[in-house]
Amino acid sequence: MPEKKVTSYPKEKINILLLENISKAAAEKFLENGYVSVKRLTGALSESDLIKEIKNVHLLGIRSKSKITPAVLEHAQKLQAIGCFCIGTNQVDLKEATSKGVAVFNAPYSNTRSVAELVIASSIFLIRRIPDKNKSAHSGIWMKESAGSHELRGKTLGIIGYGNIGSQVSVLAEAFGMKVIFYDTETKMPLGNAESKKTMKDVLKQADIVTLHVPDLPSTRNLINKTNIPFFKKGSILINYARGKVVDLDELRKALLNNDLSGAAIDVYPSEPAKNGEHFETPLQGLSNVILTPHIGGSTEEAQQNIGEDVSNKLFNFLEKGITTGSHTVPPLNLPPHENTHRILHIHKNVPGVLSEINTQLSSHKINILGQYLKTNDEIGYVVLDVNKNLSHEALELLKEVNHTIKVRLLY
């Protein structure tokens, strides 16, 4: 029987911290595999509190509220990896994490369906003017009328950002009989009958409903602003379930009050409360035919379970196998096991001569390398070495002394 591989570090001494009410599926993944020190907190932590907590943490799990700053990483001397249990990683200082050899993983696809379904649902509610009628009914006023209410069928949906979510919205929209047009800065293969447009302006002019699915980048800040709002088709609808800073909400408010746009659905905001129950303000509050939701686009039980399983699997595979596929910081490697060896992980600055020094150090001490893998990015290099069992601890100490070493770990 092949020898079962386990981490050389005692599992009971590996500390795992999960913040922001991460799905129980994540914690259970580690508990089922013998990791008993799993701490799960319901909220985010401030920078100062996180600095206190992270001193002895090996794996950290967060969602979108926790900010992993250089100061936090400076105090995270034992940290091996960060799992972002959400789509993005902008809450982590990736440059600093890279320089310290901390692997950062996320779940870019796990809540795609949840967001896409909510976009379609909001489209139906807005084009039927349900928010107005709901408010009236709650106020005891009967408003049974068809004026201003329409079907989705036959309307044009404009998608800005044709990535994982945008393309999924495209498929659902066509099932409702909509025409789909989209704009993306990169060339994307259209799904179904969707049509790519050369400019965002072309989409805004033609679409009855515009939905945004772009990342938070300097180039997307205030993407929808005073300059391009006039290009929207008169009476159209805007949906933003992407990032809070891509829409100028003050200008959107003006457009809604002027009836240039007939409705909007907003789920993300430039500034959001850190936890439930805190006070929240936006310029769009109190406006007719506007749906405001508290960043719940991907907040379904199915999505959270999928995210929990996806990210915890990536963390588990990195911890036990050295696999870095999906990491935003450490170069990606997916390694086949070598029987009857010990495996060492070495992360170093990407400068010439490191691999040569590693090989020279080991060969001069007659340590045979039975398997070796190297992958680099602009900042760091990641080497995985399989060496003779009897000499692995000696090899580990030698590799710690290699110039430009950031982290070195005996995996098994």
CATH at residue 365 = 3.30.70.260
pLDDT for 137: 94
What's residue 192's pLDDT? Answer: 96
Terminal CA-to-CA distance of the chain, rounded, Å? 17
Q: What is the CATH number of the domain that holds 93?
A: 3.40.50.720
Question: Which of 365, 289, 380 is closest to 332 using CA atoms?
Answer: 380
User: Residue 4: what pLDDT?
Assistant: 47
H/E stretch holding 17 reads strand 16-18
Per-residue confidence (pLDDT) for residue 1, from 0 to 100: 36
Mean pLDDT, rounded, for 346-364: 94
Quick one: 39 and 169 in the same domain? no
Q: Which helix (H) or strand (E) holds 376?
A: strand 369-376
User: Is 39 in the same domain as 150?
Assistant: no
Q: Are residues 308 and 196 in the same domain?
A: no
Q: How far apart are CA 133 and CA 136, in angstroms?
A: 5
Res. 2: pLDDT tops 50: no
Are residues 288 and 385 part of one domain?
no
- In the listed set 264, 292, 320, which residue is the last one of a domain according to the structure? 292
Residue 227 in this model has a pLDDT that exceeds 80: yes
CB atoms closer than 10 angstroms to residue 167: 23
392 and 256 in a common domain: no
More confident residue, 176 or 65: 176
Q: Which of 24-33, 204-213, 320-329, 358-367 has the lowest mean pLDDT?
A: 24-33
Q: Average pLDDT of 308-319?
A: 91
Q: How far is CA 142 from each of CA 148, 149, 286, rounded to the nearest angstrom?
A: 16, 16, 20
Q: What is the mean pLDDT of residues 379-399?
A: 92
Model confidence at 68: pLDDT above 90 = yes
Whole-model pTM: value is 0.81
Query: Token pair of 367, please?
Result: 């340590």
The predicted-structure confidence for 256-311, as pLDDT tens digits, reads as follows: 999 999 999 999 999 998 778 889 999 999 998 999 999 999 889 898 888 888 99
Do 247 and 136 lie in one domain? The reply is: yes
Confidence (pLDDT) at 8: 66
**8 A C-beta contact, residue 357 and residue 349:** no
How would residue 253 be classed by pLDDT, with cut points 50, 70 and 90? very high
Please name every residue paired with 109 in a beta bridge, in sequence order, or none if there are none.
none
**Residue 115 and residue 102 share a domain:** no
Q: Please give the C-alpha separations between residue 284 and each of 230, 288, 408, in angstroms, as whole numbers.
A: 18, 9, 51
Domain of residue 42 covers 1-106+300-330
Of 330, 346, 379, at which residue does a domain stop? 330
CA distances to 209, 239, 319, 320 from 5, rounded to whole Å, are: 53, 49, 12, 8
Q: Is 364 exposed, middle or buried (0-12, 13-18, 19+ CB in 10 A)?
A: exposed
Residue 223 pLDDT level (bands cut at 50, 70, 90): very high
Does position 72 have pLDDT exceeding 60, yes or no?
A: yes
Cβ atoms 224, 239 nearer than 8 A: no
What is the C-alpha to C-alpha distance for residues 196 and 203, in angstroms, rounded to an integer? Answer: 9
Domain boundary among 235, 266, 292: 292
What pLDDT, in 10s, does the model give residues 130-151? 999 999 999 999 999 998 899 9
Q: What average pLDDT is seen over the chain?
A: 93
> Are residue 306 and residue 222 in the same domain, yes or no?
no
Same domain as 232, residue 178: yes
Q: Are 281 and 151 found together in one domain?
A: yes
Q: How far is CA 109 from the centre of its chain?
A: 9
The domain tally of the chain equals: 3
The residues annotated with a catalytic role in the active site are 243, 272, 295
pLDDT in tens, 11-28: 888 999 999 988 887 888
Q: Percentages helix, strand, coil for the chain, rounded to the nearest 5?
A: 35, 20, 45
Which has the closest alpha carbon to 294: 307, 306, 281, 308?
281
Tens of pLDDT, residues 79-126: 999 999 988 898 999 999 999 999 999 998 888 999 999 999 999 999
> Do 90 and 126 have their domain in common?
no
* Same domain as 186, residue 100: no
